Amino acid sequence: MKAVLLIEDDDALRSMIGALLEEHGWKVFAAEDGEAGLNLARQYRPDVVVCDLLMPRCNGYQVCRAIRATPELHDTRIVMLSGRDYSTDKLNALEAGADEYLVKPVLPTELGATLLRLTSGEVPAAPVPAAHPARIPDGPPRVKFWGVRGSIASPGPGTNFYGGNTSCVEVRAEGEIIVLDAGTGIRSLGLSLTQEFNSQPLNITLLLTHTHWDHIQGFPFFMPAYEPRNTVRILGYEGARQGLAATLGAQMESPYFPVGLKELPGNITIEELRDMEFMVGKVRVRAMFVNHPGICVGYRIEASGGSVVFIPDNEPFHRMRSQPPGTDTTTIEFAREQDEKLIQFISGADILIMDAQYDAVEYEEHIGWGHACVDDVVDIASRARVKQLYLFHHDPTHDDERVSRMLAYARSLASTGLLVEAAREGLEAVIKR
């Protein structure tokens, strides 16, 4: 006989639920506050604990956390009951360790079904991609910039031309919608996709280079993630401290945002990548770890119509490691080799989008910050025989005039055949071969 522990301070409700569960064959233990409930849980190890949220002496969150911290109660399932129908309370309960959150008044049939499901060992089904997703027209690969700024969004009259939103680039290739990074620019991309495809289901792949704020902060405002018929597959590499899912979920915890990542109605999957090469439909993607604090990659997207390389944050090794003057030759040689590997990764790309946050003077003040000086970026692109270079991750203190001056300077350095542009919001580039 399965056992349930009922922790509820309302006497009438406790008796009523207890009697109903007994009728349905459950062995019932009951407690009228959290502290007494925890003592009974440790003593009898019930299959399920049904626990009220707001109770004297120990609230439901505390009960959940205490149960989850008790190894002998590892298999005990927890159902939280609450009179409060706020998504943030539900999220807090799930994060504290509850398996279910039911809002009062709870129908006896609903509670009974929940208990049976939780104790039957059933695994919830994984989300399935949309059955008839919108068809993305074929054609040459296309890139559109939705956020080009680095570090922090910087809207205002001074940044109107290039834009103030942080890192987000859309690539359409081989019938796929691939989104690079989820900085604040992803908000406008989401609105645009919703409008373009009206109500057709979408399959979207989001590739994250890393989880610094300027690369993930827009995700909670990405409307396609709120549409149940859409599938959003998020791919990236594990962070330095914790997994990708934990990091993305953390920015949506209730102190920061009213809707939790797990509560988003869209089919969201988060996959931590292990291999440095993988497919998105017919598009081959390669990744490379770059020189930036924490774990950070660049992506190379290889479609039949052309290639796009995205390296939004990177500090070229040579200029960084050859400081101060007189650095030993072994270190300098190592730095050269590392830059050489990057050049090979980029080699022959049709479009290169690359961190060019500083000029050479500013760089001197920012050595070890993880960003590039424009001189090095043009040099790398030239040596890699790239066709089009887009300066990216503009410094938040650089106004339009300053970015334009950096662009003019970059063009003056570029080798023949290399087209240089500064990325700006709304700019589209189509690969023509």
CB of residue 212 to Zn ion, shortest distance in Å = 3
Q: Rounded to an integer, what distance in angstroms lies between the CA atom of residue 307 and that of residue 345?
A: 11
| End-to-end Cα, the chain, rounded Å | 71
Identified binder of Zn ion from the candidate list 8, 170, 174, 214, rule CB under 5 A? 214
Residue 17 zone, left/alpha/beta (φ > 0; ψ -120 to 50; rest): alpha
The whole-angstrom distance between residue 129's C-alpha and the CA centroid of its chain comes to 19
What x-and-dash track marks residues 256-295 binding Zn ion by CB under 5 A? ----------------------------------------
Q: Rounded to an integer, what distance in angstroms lies between the CA atom of residue 148 and that of residue 356?
A: 11
CB of residue 369 to Zn ion, shortest distance in Å = 9
Partners of residue 351 on adjacent β-strands: 308, 388
Classify the C-alpha dihedral 141-285-289-184 as positive or negative: positive
What x-and-dash track marks residues 166-205 binding Zn ion by CB under 5 A? ----------------------------------------
The whole-angstrom distance between residue 151's C-alpha and the CA centroid of its chain comes to 16
Identified binder of Zn ion from the candidate list 8, 89, 313, 359, rule CB under 5 A? 313
CB of residue 376 to Zn ion, shortest distance in Å = 17
Q: Which is nearer to Zn ion, 214 or 379 (CB)?
A: 214
Binding status of residue 77 toward Zn ion by CB under 5 A: no
CB of residue 359 to Zn ion, shortest distance in Å = 18
CB of residue 392 to Zn ion, shortest distance in Å = 9
Q: Which is nearer to Zn ion, 77 or 149 (CB)?
A: 149
Q: Residue 189 is encoded by which pair of tokens?
A: 């991309």
CB of residue 178 to Zn ion, shortest distance in Å = 19
Partners of residue 31 on adjacent β-strands: 7
Q: Which is nearer to Zn ion, 292 or 319 (CB)?
A: 292
CB of residue 398 to Zn ion, shortest distance in Å = 14
Q: Which is nearer to Zn ion, 77 or 210 (CB)?
A: 210
Identified binder of Zn ion from the candidate list 14, 212, 300, 394, rule CB under 5 A? 212
| Binding piece for Zn ion, criterion CB under 5 A, among 206-214, 236-244, 282-290, 325-333 | 206-214
| Binding piece for Zn ion, criterion CB under 5 A, among 49-57, 259-267, 271-279, 311-319 | 311-319
Identified binder of Zn ion from the candidate list 141, 150, 218, 260, rule CB under 5 A? 150
Q: Rounded to an integer, what distance in angstroms lies between the CA atom of residue 92 and that of residue 101?
A: 10
Residues 6 or more apart in contact with residue 151 via CB below 8 angstroms: 166, 214, 357, 393, 395, 396
Q: Residue 433 is encoded by which pair of tokens?
A: 């071969």
Residues 391/354, Cβ–Cβ less than 8 Å: yes
For 330, counting Cβ atoms within 10 Å of its Cβ (0-12 exposed, 13-18 middle, 19+ buried), the class is exposed
Q: Give residues in contact with Zn ion (CB under 5 A).
A: 150, 212, 214, 313
